[in-house]
Chain A
Amino acid sequence: MQYALLIYAEPGYEEALSDVEREAAHAEYLALADDARCINGARLQPVATATCVRVVGGRTLMTDGPFADTKEVLGGFCLVEAANLDEAIELAARIPAARPGGAVEVRPVVQR
């Protein structure tokens, strides 16, 4: 089954880390990306770059900022192939952002 791991974190949490911690976190992300079960993934630019798009009556409307104004914001995602939810949760728990006040939302992907 495929799962999307949606990574939420407080903006700027990485800047608060020490150099050693930041490097350790970076290594963990690389290890995860190298895992055969990781199909795809990406880190997003800061939330200040977000634009929300809505189409109303054929007109494309834009607003500056993310869809929901929350303390933690979507900072990246990872698409994984896992045998079941337990395996997906174990992969999610390896994501560094899950630890300092952030969270990883695990969502199964609709099979086509």
Chain B
Amino acid sequence: MLASLVGFLADFERAEDAAQEAFATAAQHWPASGVPANPGAWLVTTARNRAIDRIRRERTLAEKIHLLPAAEAVMDEFDDTVIKDERLELIFTCCHPALALEGQVALTLRALGGLQTAEIARAFLVSEETMKRRLTRAKTKIKATGIPFAVPDAHLLPDRLDAVLGVIYLIYNEGYSGRVDLAAEAIRLGRVLTALMPDAPEAHGLLALMMIHHARRRARFSGEDLVLLDDQDRSLWDMRQITAGRAVLDRAIALGGRGAYVVQAAIAALQTAERIDWPQVASLYLRLVELTGSPVVELNHAVAVAQAGDPAAALRAVDRLDLDGYLYFHSTRGEMLRRLGRDEDARAAYRRALELATSTPERRFLTQRLELL
């Protein structure tokens, strides 16, 4: 509903006000007159008409007239077929790279996720006032700078879709570290996006990735402790969601998807197998290294190589990486050194990791590893 109103009014604030008024009117009239046959269309029509009334009151003669001609007769002839689904335009507006990233995230959750400002504020651990300001700043910039309410032209689309996927994945990762509601919200957004862009392989890749990871969330922690993939209690996995995630991944691959999200989803899918095909995981990580050039991905590649049975080669690869400030670099080295029987070096690596640990579960996990040596 909000998407349709923003599209019609080209103004976030007005759309929100109009939607609120329509709900208030509904609360007044529906109990007495009964719920109309098509409540959604009724709300949109009412909101549009309220907005038009308001604009009429506000306008000083010739201004803003472009909104009016189309709007005169809408009430009578309005039906479901007229409601254009404008959520896709709204997604691209909210995730426009000219907006600050935190603004993109907040706006996406507010406008498409339908979260209240207070809920978003709680999820990002800021005050409601701060979140309100963040949203206002983003909405003001959209209006003042003429950020289009449109799906970008074909030549801009790949970059801009990347930006949208990035925002959704960011929301997901905020949820992954404990606040499950945001992760579920990101998955819902991913579903909306794949429904609106059924032929975009990376959108399916991202959705599959989030679903498969999310399906394992209950097994990742034991109390407060982090549980490694090998040690996870698989009965805690949501097998239905894993199956559904795999189906989405199949669709992404059928669409020709070979990008970073599709590859990551494929890795996640392989890791849910009874016996994990580590050489295959390693080759996918290699592809991901080519795509991202990230040393952290190289570290993951090395882990897969070690799991595939060659810890010596893995250690050589790890030692080439420049990741001294990264906790998992040292814990990974520690594990490889332990497997190679170099206990003293392993202890040193784990100790260095412990120095870098910031959370209690991380510290407890590393202390346990040290005690095992």
Binding site for B on A (CB under 8 A): 1, 3, 82-86, 88-89, 106, 108
Judge whether B98 and A108 touch: CB under 8 Å. Answer: no
Judge whether B147 and A108 touch: CB under 8 Å. Answer: no
Chain A residues, CB < 8 A from B360:
none
Instruction: Considering the complex, give the chain B residue whose CB is closest to the CB of A2.
Output: B146
Judge whether A1 and B146 touch: CB under 8 Å. Answer: yes
Chain A residues, CB < 8 A from B150:
84
Given contacts A84-B147, A84-B150, 16 further A-B contacts (CB under 8 A): A1-B146, A82-B146, A83-B146, A83-B148, A84-B148, A85-B96, A85-B98, A85-B146, A85-B148, A86-B152, A86-B153, A86-B156, A88-B146, A89-B98, A108-B144, A108-B145
Q: How far is the CB of B97 from the nearest CB of chain A, in Å?
A: 9
Chain A residues, CB < 8 A from B152:
86
The distance in angstroms between the C-alpha atoms of A88 and B150, with both chains bound, is 15
Please, could you name 12 A-B residue pairs with CB atoms under 8 Å apart, sorted by A?
A83-B146, A83-B148, A84-B146, A84-B148, A84-B150, A85-B146, A85-B147, A85-B148, A86-B153, A106-B145, A108-B145, A108-B146
Q: Chain A interface secondary structure, helix, strand, loop or mixed?
A: mixed
Chain B residues, CB < 8 A from A86:
147-148, 152-153, 156
Instruction: Considering the complex, give the chain B residue whose CB is closest to the CB of A110.
Output: B144
Chain A residues, CB < 8 A from B156:
86
The distance in angstroms between the C-alpha atoms of A3 and B156, with both chains bound, is 20
CB-defined interface of B135-155 with A at 8 Å, one 1/0 digit per residue? 000000000111110101100
Chain A residues, CB < 8 A from B148:
83-86
Chain A residues, CB < 8 A from B98:
85, 89
The distance in angstroms between the C-alpha atoms of A1 and B10, with both chains bound, is 15
CB-defined interface of B60-97 with A at 8 Å, one 1/0 digit per residue? 00000000000000000000000000000000000010
Chain A residues, CB < 8 A from B96:
85
The distance in angstroms between the C-alpha atoms of A103 and B146, with both chains bound, is 20
Q: How far is the CB of B197 from the nearest CB of chain A, in Å?
A: 18
Q: How far is the CB of A48 from the nearest CB of chain B, in Å?
A: 33
Residue of A82, A85, A88, A89 most packed against chain B (CB within 10 A): A85
Instruction: Considering the complex, give the chain B residue whose CB is closest to the CB of A86.
Output: B148
The distance in angstroms between the C-alpha atoms of A43 and B144, with both chains bound, is 27
Give me the 9 closest cross-chain CB pairs, A-B, nearest first. Answer: A84-B148, A84-B146, A1-B146, A85-B147, A85-B146, A85-B145, A108-B145, A86-B148, A108-B144
The distance in angstroms between the C-alpha atoms of A112 and B247, with both chains bound, is 55
Chain A residues, CB < 8 A from B144:
108
The distance in angstroms between the C-alpha atoms of A83 and B98, with both chains bound, is 16
Instruction: Considering the complex, give the chain A residue whose CB is closest to the CB of B152.
Output: A86
Q: How far is the CB of A17 from the nearest CB of chain B, in Å?
A: 27
